[in-house]
Structure 1
Amino acid sequence: MEVQVQRSFTLFPTGAGEATPGEPYELPLTIFDRCTVDIHIAVVYAFSPPTPSNPALLNALSQTLCLFPTLTGELCHDSSGLPCFLVGGQGGGALVVEATVASTLSDHLPLEPSPELLKLHPPTAEPAHLLQVQLNRFRCGGLAVGLSCHHKVADGASMGAFLAAWGRAARGIPASAPPATLFDRSWIRPRSPPRCEFEHWGTDFIRLNDGDDDDDGRRQHYSSNNSVDPSRITNFLLHYSADFISKKLKPATNFKYTTFETLLAHLWRKITAARGLAGDLETTVRVTVNVRQRMNPPAPANYFGNLVLNAYAKAKAATLAVAEGGLEAAARMVHEAIAKADGEYAQSMVDFGALHEPEGDSLVPVYGEEGNVLSPVVDAESWLRLRFEEMEVGGGGKLCGFLPTWVPLEGLLIFLPAAGEVTGGVDVMVSMLEEQAEAMKRMSHSLD
């Protein structure tokens, strides 16, 4: 893919209805923001022609950013040394890149995971901006929007809302009111006194300055902390039709569990087999759970930020390998783990944040020391209800492809609504070592 950058610049919010106070504002990170991975998450959208012009799309983006000003803020520290967003300061803004592609969009459809996709968005290594957007115009008039955002600004649910809002603005639909709670996070408050009913060390956070002793469990970590040359890791898509899920997988669990729980349990079993893990080795699925509606009271509907928790299901490899009843048992473990990420756990997390707030950057999420090989851990991310597919820019063209870009992290599963299907099919982006990927592909639809 030959991509030629035409220009790059910084875009700032413009227009009426800004949610930003008049003066620069320091917005402290919540404990949920601090628990997220410290990287940019990048995605690519492909739209068939005709699509709105770049100026029209950028005008819509600038107006939309007025409603989501943290996206154009800066990640920094306040006077106490605690991490915060600086909104409305001298820096910030969103990086915009305009580029042309020598080929036609149809040459690259359907979109498949590939390092080539990295050319369609700005580099995510040490970026200067929290939000980066690249508009790629193909020779045929097709458009690929490459976008990345720092995860500490927002989770998938919030980014889905932002992208849907940008799409509405591009289609001329008036913007809704600014998120009323953007600068009021007082509802995320600890009890008095704060208390933690759950263990958050080693599951949500680690402490880099604790030394090597593990007598208090704070250095306990579930990942192997292994790394390999990224070239040894490959990404690929597995497609599961609605018929396969409803007529093959769910009957094996007596229809007890959701599509996500059932399919994740199936993939957990298959990836464990493809990795060739010993039968007595404990494997773990780490699931990101949206707790907006699980909190007590539920989070405001228009909250923009991070509100996710980690859930963990664990089993011996031999247990997962059992043919008769193995899928149902795995699905039950996934279901029970997700159920534990409830309002009580969320409140315990908030209290944990209050108790350890002064520790600043020494309080890091569990992702902080992981290498790029997670085995025997599986990291599962569901994008099935995040509204990413609702981004429509108008102009007569249609969304014809959506993918996260190349992610060299072994053991990652990202669940996506199947492209072109409205009946419940699911595409799963799988990231594995190349030497194990072929085995995974061969057994991916086997019910054994």
Structure 2
Amino acid sequence: MGSIYQEAPPLPQDLKVRIQNSSMVFPSKQTERKSLFLSNIDRVLNFDVESVHFFASHKDFPPDIVVDRLKKALADALVAYDFFAGRLKLSPETGRLEIDCNGAGAGFVVASSELELDQIGDLVYPNPAFAQLVQKNKDFLEPGDQPLAVFQVTSFNCGGFAIGMSTSHTTVDGIGFTTFLENLAALAASKPLAATPCHDRRLLAARSPPCVTYSHPELLNLGHLAVPGAESGVFEASAEDLDFKIFRLTTHNINHLKSEAKASATGSAARITGFNIVTALVWRCKALSAGDDPNRSSTILYAVDIRSRLNPPLPRDYAGNAVLTAYATAKCEELERWPFGRLVEVVSEGAERMTDEYVRSAIDWGELYNGSPNGEVLVSSWWRLGFAGVEYPWGKPRYCCPVVYHRKDIILYFPPDDDEVVGGGGVNVLVALPPMEMQKFLKLFHEFLN
């Protein structure tokens, strides 16, 4: 099928961004002061998520108009999403992490770049310089104050602009953030909320007393060593020099893999989804590139939306984190020997495991132990979150992407820019590995795909 990975194109390392002003945006109406309970899922995800949303120029919406519209819409959104204007704190009574919904506000930064949008390179290719489009200094107004959401609008010389967003993952998951963006876009267009968010995070509270009914090898018990907010396990940044490549799988590639999986599967063909077959391929290549011990076990982790898996189901517009880590484990010799269909089935079993009782057991496990995801590799999928489908008054984004900080043990899926909105089946896979492992990964990837 030829070469389907992309070497790094020429990328500007300096986007020549200058900060013009920084301010706080407060809720447009007075909100109730309260402490927001965080579930055990929320508490584990105590780190920031950074994304950049690029927009082409629009004659009716130059960047200064966008800034005014966005600030007003954000102020209105902070009424419905009061936790985004709050601050994380430890409860003096329970010692649990919670959000103090105190109306302290969200950060807002206005910046400009000397470049035109078309000069910053291929938007799909993760450029570390995109970090300049997201404000990292959270205490830019008052030392020690850490907003849970900071927005940065950066205008380009062509009239296009980027909206960089940094939010604490304790606040929402990807699905919840998509709903937030849809509501923000509606408010910017002077329309009512597109959906009313559900804030009752006690729907995912642990049972009393906690009752762990399953073993949870996907969770690592850190005991007294756990530090709230500290990255551990697969979230740790690697000190190694990493080579990284983008693997572009087209709809044709994915259909080819589906056919191969169906031909060798022993169970239901319904398990053979695009996500499962890409994850099976990536897992096989990642595990076998890491060493030559056939008896070594490899575990892959990936997030599963649990909203519809509970009994009763969570509201579709549940605003907190409603994802849990599914896992699949196999020995390297099995990953090499198994037919592809069997490997896809093992991946799919991770999601099938997520019944109501399994979810409740995992949440109760989190009540008893400090922990973090436990595996060799974690898949973080932005593939079908739908950020680029959000319709703002100034149009849909030209492209949306996370700000990438390379992690050896995190594989990132994200949509290609040519079919993200229209529902195409292609996907881009970002892999970062030490150079020797990357060479093995490349070789295995092409062998298994062809």
The TM-score by the shorter chain falls in which range? Answer: 0.7 to 0.9
The answer to whether the aligner puts 1:419 opposite 2:422 as a matched pair is no
Pairs within 5 Å for 1:339-418: 339-352=352-365, 356=368, 363-366=369-372, 377-395=376-394, 397-418=395-416
Which of 270, 273, 282 is residue 297 of structure 2 equivalent to?
282
Q: Which residue of 1 aligns with 2:78?
A: 65
Indicate if the aligned counterparts of 2:218 and 2:301 stay in contact, CA closer than 8 A.
no
The answer to whether the aligner puts 1:133 opposite 2:151 as a matched pair is yes
The answer to whether the aligner puts 1:293 opposite 2:311 as a matched pair is no
Q: Which residue of 2 aligns with 1:115?
A: 128
Instruction: Find the residue that maps to 1:346 and give its secondary structure.
Output: helix
Between the aligned partners of 1:386 and 1:225, the Cα distance in structure 2 is: 21
The answer to whether the aligner puts 1:327 opposite 2:343 as a matched pair is no
Shift of 1:109: 4.0
For residues 18-67 of structure 1, what are the alpha-carbon distances to aligned partners after superposition, in whole Å with 9 as ceiling and x for unaligned?
7x42xx2011211221232x210111111111145211122122222222
For residues 337-363 of structure 1, what are the alpha-carbon distances to aligned partners after superposition, in whole Å with 9 as ceiling and x for unaligned?
121122111122344455x3xxxxxx5
Indicate if the aligned counterparts of 1:319 and 1:326 stay in contact, CA closer than 8 A.
no
The answer to whether the aligner puts 1:244 opposite 2:253 as a matched pair is yes
Instruction: Find the residue that maps to 2:155 and give its secondary structure.
Output: strand
Shift of 1:430: 2.5
Indicate if the aligned counterparts of 1:73 and 1:85 stay in contact, CA closer than 8 A.
yes
Count of matched residue pairs: 408
Q: Which moved more, 1:124-133 or 1:284-293?
A: 124-133
For residues 117-172 of structure 1, what are the alpha-carbon distances to aligned partners after superposition, in whole Å with 9 as ceiling and x for unaligned?
11110127888111111111011011111111111111111111112222232334
Between the aligned partners of 1:11 and 1:198, the Cα distance in structure 2 is: 45
Unaligned stretches of 5+ in structure 2?
1-14, 140-144, 227-231, 263-268
Alpha-carbon RMSD: 2.7
Instruction: Find the residue that maps to 1:62 and give its secondary structure.
Output: helix
Instruction: Find the residue that maps to 1:314 and give its secondary structure.
Output: strand
Indicate if the aligned counterparts of 2:388 and 2:399 stay in contact, CA closer than 8 A.
no
Q: Which residue of 2 aligns with 1:432?
A: 433
Indicate if the aligned counterparts of 1:120 and 1:136 stay in contact, CA closer than 8 A.
yes
Shift of 1:107: 1.5
Distance 1:59-1:226 versus aligned 2 partners, 3 A rule: closer
Shift of 1:177: 6.0
Shift of 1:210: 7.2
Between the aligned partners of 1:27 and 1:198, the Cα distance in structure 2 is: 29
| Aligned structure 1 segments of 4 or more residues deviating by more than 6 angstroms | 124-127, 224-227
Between the aligned partners of 2:442 and 2:327, the Cα distance in structure 1 is: 25
Distance 1:43-1:226 versus aligned 2 partners, 3 A rule: closer
Unaligned stretches of 5+ in structure 1?
212-221, 357-362
For residues 378-420 of structure 1, what are the alpha-carbon distances to aligned partners after superposition, in whole Å with 9 as ceiling and x for unaligned?
101223342322233232x542222111222112122223222
Q: Which residue of 2 aligns with 1:160?
A: 178
Between the aligned partners of 2:243 and 2:387, the Cα distance in structure 1 is: 24
TM-score by length of structure 2 reads: 0.82
Q: Which residue of 1 aligns with 2:112?
A: 100
Distance 1:65-1:223 versus aligned 2 partners, 3 A rule: closer
Instruction: Find the residue that maps to 1:123 and give its secondary structure.
Output: coil
